[in-house]
Amino acid sequence: MSSADLFTKTKPHKFWRAVPEVDWASWKWQLQNRIDSVAKLRSVLESDPPPNESIESIIQEIEKTESKFNFSITPYYFSLIDFSSPVCPIRRQALPSSEENIELSYELRDFPKEDQMMPVPGLTHRYPDRAMLYTTHHCAMYCRFCTRKRKVSNPSTALQQQQIQNAIDHIAKTPHLREIVLSGGDVFSFGDDGLDKLLKRTRAIEHVEIVRLGTRNLVTLPFRATVELMGIFENYLPLYIHTHFNHPKECSLEAFEACRRLRDAGCVVNNHTVILKGINDDESTLKELNRRLLQMGAQPYYMYHCDLTFGSSHFRTMIADDIELVHKLHGDTKWDTDANVPHYMVDTPGGGKIELV
């Protein structure tokens, strides 16, 4: 049996059933046809009304949400939503909720204090040998729990070309920076030429040994991993792709194929998961997720506690509960391999990530 047989092709939502396959599988088409307004959402929902809810109540919920953080959902990711359940884990990651209006006194705008640890704009240097470059503030989808929503989705905060060049110059002048994380937003939001240029400039620095790319495109826009893009990546190996699957439902045939193309091109695929209340904070979901990741050839890497980002309290679990969950995962997978259990990490303001066991 091929491992592809373990995955199911995503059936487009009724609204897009007549769209030709070449368009549906085109990342550009997917980006152009995103749901990013209530008007668009309304027409999509009207094509196939949810069984247990009125369209009006879904729209009202979004209209109640103060617009601090854009919403935008690819037709592909939207098609993974099960509208017969108001708590569908895909839906909760994608559709705004008025709970985002709740801001607690201890929540922060810039929770990990990334913006205070910038030797030059857009480059966070928090650990001795590694730095993270925020290249773009665009994402295929805006995840409702996003840690960087203070700036992500707002193009006016993104780096200008000159600033990216300054950040790269800074890396070139800092010989102990061995490892660079190209992040965002979502670095795959750059076009092919943009990514090629960015990788060329980063790889040209002699002391940069490892380059990582942070993207959620494998989850929200798997069609982005095109043959053309793989042809570019092959020139800059080794490349570590850090992606962000949170739920086994996201592990579709399309996602599998994106991972396979990246692996075939010689990239290593690692996954970060955020533990989110009511989405994946239970033993069976996380076990299933980790099993699916391994089937896709994506290594479970980190499992994060949800940051104290403003307006995310409805997603946040208790650290003590997370630890209990991690114990359960370890308990079971001892039978085969510990590779199934990612490290459990908690980010701290200013102190960096801490592993808790």
* Interface residues toward ligand SF4, by CB under 6 A: 139, 142-143, 146, 148, 152, 184-186, 216
How far, in Å, CA of 345 to CA of 307, rounded?
10
Per partner kind, with CB cut-offs from 5 to 8 A, the member of ligand PLP, ligand SF4, none near residue 216 is ligand SF4
β-pairing, 343-348 vs 268-275, is unpaired
Our finding on whether 353 is near ligand PLP (CB under 6 A) is yes
- 126: partner contacted, choices ligand SF4, ligand PLP, none (Cβ within 5-8 A by kind): ligand PLP
What secondary structure letter does DSSP report for 306? P
The interface with ligand PLP within residues 171-190 (CB under 6 A) comprises 181
| From candidates 124, 215, 220, 252, binder to ligand PLP by CB under 6 A | 124
Number of residues counted as binding ligand PLP (CB under 6 A): 8
* Nearest to ligand SF4 of 132, 296 (CB atom): 132
Which of 130, 178, 201, 291 is in the footprint of ligand PLP by CB under 6 A? 130
Instruction: With CA atoms as reference, report the closest residue to 192 among 154, 159, 225, 144.
Output: 225
Please tell me whether residue 127 binds ligand PLP under the rule CB under 6 A.
yes
Minimum distance between the CB of residue 41 and ligand SF4, rounded to whole angstroms? 18
Of residues 294, 287, 272, 305, the one with CA closest to residue 339:
294
Q: Which is nearer to ligand SF4, 184 or 300 (CB)?
A: 184
State the nearest-atom distance from the C-beta of 125 to ligand PLP, in Å.
7
Site mask for ligand PLP (CB under 6 A), range 295-334, x = bound: ----------------------------------------
Tracing tokens 């998961």 back to the chain, one arrives at 273
Give the residue from 275, 278, 283 showing the smallest Cα distance to 307. 275
48 binds, among ligand PLP, ligand SF4, none (CB under 5 to 8 A by kind): none
**Which of 72, 44, 50 has its CA nearest to residue 220?**
72
Q: Are the CB atoms for 73 and 94 separated by under 8 Å?
A: yes
Distance from C-alpha of 67 to C-alpha of 40, rounded to nearest angstrom: 16
Nearest residue (CB) to ligand PLP, 136 versus 252:
136
Output the smallest distance, CB 130 to ligand SF4, in A.
Answer: 18
Angle at which helices 161-172 and 192-203 pack, to 10 degrees? Answer: 20
Residue 233 binds which entry of ligand PLP, ligand SF4, none, CB below 5-8 Å type-dependent: none
- Compute the least distance from the CB of residue 322 to ligand SF4, in Å: 18
- Is residue 275 within 8 A of residue 317, CB to CB? The reply is yes
Q: Measure the CA–CA gap between 328 and 128, rounded to whole angstroms.
A: 33
The 10 Å Cβ neighbour count of residue 56 is 10
Side-chain half-sphere exposure of 138, counting CA atoms within 13 A: 9
Q: Report the residue number, 57 or 116, with the smaller CB distance to ligand PLP.
A: 116
Query: What's the burial of 42, exposed, middle or buried (CB within 10 Å: 0-12/13-18/19+)?
Result: middle
CB of 142 to ligand SF4, least distance (A): 5
**In this structure, are strands 343-348 and 352-355 parallel, antiparallel, or unpaired?**
antiparallel
Residue 199 binding ligand PLP, by CB under 6 A: no
Give contact residues for ligand PLP (rule: CB under 6 A).
Answer: 124, 126-127, 130-132, 181, 353
